[in-house]
Amino acid sequence: MTVPERAQKDSNMAVEVKVLTLNVWGIPGISKDREARMEAIVQQLVTGNEEYDFVFLQEVWSKADYTFIASKVNKVLPYSHTFYSGCVGSGLCVLSRSPITEVHYHRFALNGYPHKLLHGDWWGGKGVALCRTVRHGVPMLLATTHFISSPQHQRMGVCVRLCGSVPGKEVEEKIPIVNKFHAEYNPQEDEYVHHRLTQAFETSELIRFAKKTEEVLICAGDFNCIPTDFAYRMVKFYAGLVDTYTDSPCKTPGSCGETNQTPANSYTNVKTLITNPSGNRIDYIFYQASSTHKVKTKLCDQPWPQRVPQRDFSFSDHEAVRAIITITPVKDEDATENITELQAQTDALLEGAAVCEQGLKKVACNRRLYLTLAGLVLGLELAYLAVLSLDLSLGALMGLSVLSMAGMLLLAYLLHMGTVFSHLEYSGVQAARLAIKCHLEKLTERNAQVEQERKHSSSFIK
């Protein structure tokens, strides 16, 4: 049972908060063993060794699945909220031990294309979900999200493995890895690069605007990007977040904390292990301290077993990620900035600006393609009108009529994509580009100011 909030902890003591995030892979009719896995997830949350304060779930696409999960875990996580968006929902939900007092959902401006039915991102209406609560007397802002998936193309990255088991004496071994994400998209190019950039920027912007200074932020979810990706750097540096995995003092030897396409997962395609034997770390738990509390990661790991007990399949195609953070009250102190932090923000925004420029070119190219195809279809429709004057059989006329109707539908869709949708896509990228430009101007001034202060301090010491 949940202990009353006022009786749990002294407000002057350090407290621990336990968080779990999991992409449950809950697509009705597509995800394998979905119902059995949902039951197993509930069982693990209710009877597992850990009692979590907050649980963030992604890809809970079925309303029935959400209702089932929320009702079954209500004894340990009595408060919950799901976020409706798009045609099939956002797939996001939050389970909490403390009352949720406020909620907000921001739908991403760009989120894939409607004709990419097998990808499904546009139809899902992905975005960022926010909740406010108070835990152990600490005001908290909870955020969860699910970025658009990266294409299944090969990209070389660098993984730093921590070899050895003695804390503080690990040996860093940089090894090249080939990254492939779980969504099997175009293997030739990343057509969603500018969409993912706007999502990362919008998430960072929302956090910066929504978080109050006295609130501790916990942001978790499936970000569909590895630590070497620009989207990760945008969220981490521009929003000012701390990655609990890198912040954790304990690491599993020989692991980079991979959460998807891992070799032990029953749903990992064996072919992907040939080029990517370890998997990818794309699920994260971030935090940001407040003006009244400092935060430190005690542990970040993957606590659930590799298989559902007594079954031959995993809980999901992702691994559950747990973080235990320690929150300690501190006196209200002014935040200090250093040149390294400012430079990291500047670099992330500069990279984002470059991606926006590429995105605008991609939007213009797509627009020309849609309108060119629309012109070709229109030409075929005019040819059909000319053919009607010929002496044709009834069967031929009926067949041509069906083709003409299909052509008209295709023409309408192409015109919509080449005009309305292309303009919306342009506006989304351009809005991010102009906002980034504004922030870069301020950061440039702040960088110069901090550098001048540093030089002045150095000369004073001398």
The CATH number of residue 235's host domain is 3.60.10.10
Based on the structure, what is the number of domains in the chain?
A: 2
Torsion 399-400-405-408 (CA) sign: positive
- CA 180 to CA 339: how far, in whole Å? 34
Residue 157 lies in a domain: yes
Would residue 351 count as lying in a domain? yes
- Whether residue 342 lies inside any domain: the answer is no
Tell me: do 47 and 106 sit in the same domain. yes
Q: Tokens 């069967």 identify what position?
A: 395
This prediction has a pTM of 0.81
Q: Tell me which residue of 24, 327, 352, 347 sits closest to 203, measured CA to CA.
A: 352
Closest C-alpha among 387, 374, 361 to residue 418: 374
Q: Please return the burial class of 389, using the count of CB atoms within 10 Å of its CB with bins 0-12, 13-18 and 19+.
A: exposed
Residue 339 lies in a domain: no
Domain membership flag for residue 316? yes
Whether residues 325 and 354 share a domain: the answer is no
Residue 387 in domain: yes
**pLDDT of amino acid 336:** 55
Which residue range is the domain that position 297 belongs to?
A: 5-334
- Assess whether 15 and 113 both reside in one domain: yes
Q: Could you give the C-alpha distances from 312 to 33, 182, 267, 305, 326, in angstroms and in order?
A: 11, 20, 10, 12, 36
Question: How far is C-alpha 358 from the chain's CA centre?
Answer: 21
Predicted confidence pLDDT, tens digits, the chain (462 residues): 444 454 445 567 899 999 999 999 999 999 999 999 999 999 999 998 889 999 999 999 999 999 999 999 999 999 999 999 888 889 999 999 999 999 999 999 998 888 887 777 888 889 999 999 999 999 999 999 999 987 543 333 344 433 333 334 444 334 333 333 334 333 346 788 899 999 999 999 999 999 999 999 999 999 999 999 999 999 999 999 999 999 999 888 778 899 999 999 999 998 888 888 999 999 999 999 999 999 999 999 999 999 999 999 999 999 999 999 999 998 755 455 566 778 888 888 998 899 899 889 999 999 999 999 999 999 998 888 888 777 778 888 788 888 889 999 999 999 999 999 999 999 989 988 998 898 888 888 877 777 776 666 665 555
User: Does residue 275 sit within a domain?
Assistant: yes
State whether 371 and 315 are in the same domain. Answer: no
The beta-strand segments (E) located in 216-292 are 216-222, 242-243, 283-288
Domain boundary pick from 307, 334, 361? 334
Same-domain check for residues 315 and 367: no
Does 341 fall in a domain?
no
**Do 320 and 371 fall into the same domain?**
no
Q: Does 371 share its domain with 314?
A: no
Report the number of secondary-structure helices (H) and strands (E) in the chain. Answer: 10, 14
User: Quick one: 389 and 278 in the same domain?
Assistant: no
Please check whether residues 359 and 236 belong to one and the same domain: no
Where does a domain end: 311, 334, 357?
A: 334
CB 249 within 8 A of CB 167: yes
* 261 and 133 inside one domain: yes
Same domain, 148 and 285: yes
Which among 334, 355, 389 is the end of a domain? 334
User: 386 and 280 in one domain?
Assistant: no
Amino acid in the structure at residue 264: A
